[in-house]
Structure 1
Amino acid sequence: MSAFAFIAADLVAILILVFGLYFPRHRRRDMLVAFLSINVGVMGVTYAMSTSDLSLGFGLGIFAVLSIIRLRSTEMGHAEIAYYFTAIAIGLLGGFPSVSPAISFTLMGVLIAVIAVGDHPKLFGRTRQQMMVLDQAFTDEDKARDLLATMLHATIHRVEIRKVDLVTDTTICDVRFTRLPAVAKTSRADADLGQARSVTRDAMTVGAR
């Protein structure tokens, strides 16, 4: 199969990854050009290496240059790093026309499928991880867990106290939790609102008398 088929497959795969999966889920526009450029760049370099009589040292030097790329110019989450390396892997597969097309195209599809499932919003959609700063100094994780369960309206799975400041009376902790269903939260808010309205009506009645 010609190299154009591999290039076309790579472009289709990266477009699905970027515009079909990443942007609709994360809405970070500045990462689009990063994913597209790194994919096409890696594909071009890989294709040039695979079709030219280049030494192994040259190839290692090229990938050493790629390794210099820093991912910390702006903050990136683990999910975005996964997209980043998936774009690189797709580019590598698209740059080796000597590889069996069935294997190359299948691996591209597997990479996209893994990202599609692993980063799906409905997969553990209510599970969260968050750094919390509490305005009390807690040395007991169980007490911090009870307070966080009330504040976050969630089931707390893990609380790791990172820092306790007894001078400023604050606690920094890493919390892993699952939010409770929105229906229950809405019902509770409606009940609190109804109680507040009842108190207001009673106060108005007393004032009128």
Structure 2
Amino acid sequence: MPRLALFAIDLVAVTILVFGLYFPRHRRRDLVVAYLGVNVGVLAVAGALSSSTVGAGLGLGLFGVLSIIRLRSTELDQHEVAYYFSALALGILGPLSGGPAWLCPALMGLILVVMYFGDHPRLLRSYRRQILVLDTAITDHVALVAQLERILGARVHAATVERIDLVNETTTVEVRYSIDRKHAATREAEFAGVAR
């Protein structure tokens, strides 16, 4: 398959990834330009290096280092990191022309399908994660879980205490929990009633 066709397929794929999957689901505008820039940048450099005497491994290694620096420079959620590396992978696959003509487009399609289903809003939607600051210092784990379940109205799967302040009587805890659909519907109805 001609390289220009692979470049065009990459641009279509990253457009679907960013504007078809990421932005409609998460609405974070600043990452749109990051995903597009990373993809096109990797595509350009990998395309240039694949036809030069410089090893492609060196160029991709440099992009790996740059991506680590970029990921450390701001806080990203795990799903945003997954989109970031998907954009990188699409950009790397674009210039590759070895193997059957269908291989690179199929791998790009696989990335899009995995991201579509893996980040689908209906997948495991009752499972949540939050960091809470409680206005009491709770040192007993069983009492902490009971308090969290009462506050959240949900089943707590894990509660990790990050900080207990005995002077100010606060507990900072990361909690992973799930809510049942009936409870979620009731809370959404209550919220809708308050919003009116």
Fold equivalence (TM over 0.5): yes
Aligned residue for 1:183?
185
Q: Is the contact made by 1:128 and 1:178 (CA closer than 8 Å) also made in structure 2?
A: yes
Structure possessing the higher radius of gyration over alpha carbons: 1
Q: Is the contact made by 2:132 and 2:174 (CA closer than 8 Å) also made in structure 1?
A: yes
1:76-87 to 2 correspondences below 5 Å: 76-87=76-87
Segments of 4+ in structure 1 off by > 3 A? 183-187
Tell me the TM-score normalised to structure 1 length.
Answer: 0.82
1:54-106, Cα deviation, whole Å (9 max, x unpaired): 133xx444334321342233321111111001001011111112343211111
Q: Does 1:62 align with 2:35?
A: no
Give the Cα separation in 1 of the matches to 2:12 and 2:188. 43
Aligned residue for 1:144?
144
Q: Is the contact made by 1:153 and 1:185 (CA closer than 8 Å) also made in structure 2?
A: no
Which stretch of the first structure deviates more once superposed, 156-165 or 131-140? 156-165
1:32-181 to 2 correspondences below 5 Å: 32-52=32-52, 54-56=53-55, 59-66=56-63, 67-68=65-66, 69-181=69-181
Which stretch of the first structure deviates more once superposed, 63-72 or 157-166? 63-72
Q: Is the contact made by 1:132 and 1:175 (CA closer than 8 Å) also made in structure 2?
A: yes
1:29-63, Cα deviation, whole Å (9 max, x unpaired): 111111111111111111111122x133xx44433
Aligned residue for 2:26?
26
Give the Cα separation in 2 of the matches to 1:128 and 1:186. 15
Aligned length: 187
Percent of aligned pairs with the same residue?
43
Which stretch of the first structure deviates more once superposed, 156-165 or 24-33? 156-165
Could you list the runs of 5+ residues in structure 1 that have no partner in the other structure?
191-209
Q: Aligned partner of 1:168: which letter?
A: N
Aligned residue for 1:202?
none
Pick closer, same or farther for the CA change 1:72–1:186 going to 2, 3 Å: closer
Deviation at 1:158, TM superposition (A): 1.2
Could you list the runs of 5+ residues in structure 2 that have no partner in the other structure?
192-196
Give the Cα separation in 2 of the matches to 1:178 and 1:25. 21
